[in-house]
Amino acid sequence: MDDIRQFKEWQRFFQGADVVDVKTIESRNDLRTFVAASFSYHPWWVVMLYRIRTLIVCVLGLVKHEAPEQLPDLKPAQIPFAPGEKAIFFTVRLAKEGHYWIAETPPDKHLKAYVGILAEPLTSGLKRYYLVTIVHYLHWTGPVYFNLIRPFHHLVVGCMARAGARDY
């Protein structure tokens, strides 16, 4: 994929974006399996980062979202593909079986963010997966917040990509 922003179905999510981050990895997993494994990645240190995030949210006066009591280990069949359905705390916005899946974070006053996964078929059964984060700042606290978490974002999303690519 020469430029992920040129992907026609996703154009509306890219328009006016302040941040677009793309991670790529190759895997034999199908899209459902990749999404399920990626979003089931939550080792102790990621849980700790979410706890630290709670402090940042308080300091910046951001919306406090209720954290799930237990982080799920999703199965491929549990990944919704219909717009409006929930995947953990994300809301599916656009999905096409075997091709792409994009969801939105819960509403906030500081930013709007989307996470998407695009599958590009390669030779010999491999797929190249693009994990895309699209961020739109809504308030001055948006860039402050995102720049505080940016190094951890890169680390976590990279680890999620590797988790999604592992044999399931």
Block residue for tokens 């300091």? 59
Q: Residue 162's pLDDT is what?
A: 94
Distance, CA of 30 to CA of 54 (rounded, Å):
34
Six-digit token pair at 111? 């930013």
Distance, CA of 92 to CA of 83 (rounded, Å):
5
pLDDT at 100 exceeding the cut of 50: yes
**Nearest CA among 65, 62, 153 for reference residue 110:** 62
pLDDT tens-digit map of 3-61: 677 778 899 999 999 999 999 999 999 999 999 999 888 777 767 767 777 777 677 67
Check: CB of residue 9 under 8 Å from CB of residue 96: yes
Q: Number of structural domains, the chain?
A: 1
Q: Taking the mean position of all CA atoms in its chain, how far away is CA 82?
A: 17
Distance, CA of 33 to CA of 28 (rounded, Å):
10
Task: Tell me what percent of the residues of the chain surpass a pLDDT of 70.
Answer: 89
CATH classification at residue 105: 3.30.530
Alpha helices in 61-140 (DSSP H): none
Instruction: Determine the average pLDDT of the residues in 78-107.
Output: 93
User: 32: domain range?
Assistant: 4-165
